Amino acid sequence: MAITKPLKTAKHSLKKVPFDLQQLLLDIFRNTFAPRFDSGFPAIVQQIKQHLFNRDFEHAFGQKSFLEAYAMRWSPSRALAYTQIFWEVLSKYHLEAGNLERDSGDLAQAASQVQFASTKRVVCIGGGAGAELVALGAYLQLIDHSCANLADLEDNSKRSPLCFAIESIDIADWSTVLKELHSCMTAAPPISEYSSSAAKVANVELINPAACTLSFMQEDVLEMKNENLALGFTDAVLVTLMFTLNELYSTSISSTTNLLLSLTMLLAPGAMLLVVDSPGSYSTVNVGETSRIDDGGTRKRYPMQWLLDHTLLESAAIGTSKNASAERQWEKIESKESEWFRLSNELRYPVTLEDMRYQLHLYRRL
């Protein structure tokens, strides 16, 4: 796999996801879970909130009705935010342009070089609730439309769209939720039989089923055996940790560090690791905690970002070589300490959704 390089553009401004696409994503969640928006839904949400507050994840995600309610309540706004992140950040790199070895002048030039089918493996750690799946489907649509509009191809018949083979790994059994969301996003939305002919023609699925395949692995990623890690991550061009890494660190710093070092060994040059999580003090990890303060024990709190940088930019290099001055294994190519994604007041959904504040870090395997 060739090392990816950022696309050079004359101007780089915020790439806004179209309103109609954002509404379509919300409609996918609404249509997928339409029968579940009943009088019992608010009570289930309150139970989930209480379990999450108590960090009782086994009960929070232990029932099908709870998994569905979580996806209905929290995944839609995150799917919109993730789509914006993918479109704004990932589209600057050659992930959508076949990981070409040389630079392209802009997206149009890159698109003109995509002549053959290009299926990329994307692994979403903690991606069971479906936000990543729907957002990646939306990103594929944005890329396909952008390439179709900007590329000046001599023969459009030779152009094959980018495809994703998405694998979600999660400790709970999200298989049914993901399957239902995938079915809804790869089928045309329901439409009235009295709609106009033009409306019926325009009523198409978010993404073609062949362009976005899905597999699910129910595993505790911190306890995965080496053979399963190799099966899950080898050949992946993108690995995402969306609001997951801080929870992994809180569970076990050493196991999470080992996971990141395993990814270093498994991912090929050019592969990317995208980390999105809560910003600031919401993502800090206790190190050296002891139960008896009078024994002289100390509790130090480290930012998640510091632990992540230390592991990938320092420990990974030393861990793969006997020489402490070995070449780096990763480079950090994007970083945002605190950003807001704000929802439009015009968007429609059965329950109230919130804006999302986040930090973002994107690394590339060297």
Which of 92, 135, 180 has its CA nearest to residue 364? 92
Tens of pLDDT, residues 221-261: 999 999 999 999 989 999 999 999 999 999 999 999 999 99
Residue 189: the pLDDT is 85
Tally Cβ neighbours within 10 Å of residue 58: 10
Tally Cβ neighbours within 10 Å of residue 23: 16
Q: How far apart are CA 121 and CA 119, in angstroms?
A: 7
Residue 115: the pLDDT is 38
Residue 246: the pLDDT is 94
Residue 198: the pLDDT is 79
Residue 139: the pLDDT is 96
Q: How far apart are CA 173 and CA 63, in angstroms?
A: 9
Return the SS3 of 363.
strand
Write down the residue that tokens 């070895």 correspond to.
101
Residue 179: the pLDDT is 98
Residues of the chain with pLDDT under 50: 1-12, 96-117, 152-154, 290-295, 321-324
Residue 180: the pLDDT is 97
Q: How far apart are CA 134 and CA 347, in angstroms?
A: 17
Residue 112: the pLDDT is 37
Residue 288: the pLDDT is 65
Its pTM stands at: 0.86
Which of 341, 18, 35, 353 has its CA nearest to residue 184? 35
Q: Please, how many CA atoms are within 13 Å of residue 95, restricted to the half-sphere of its CB?
A: 28
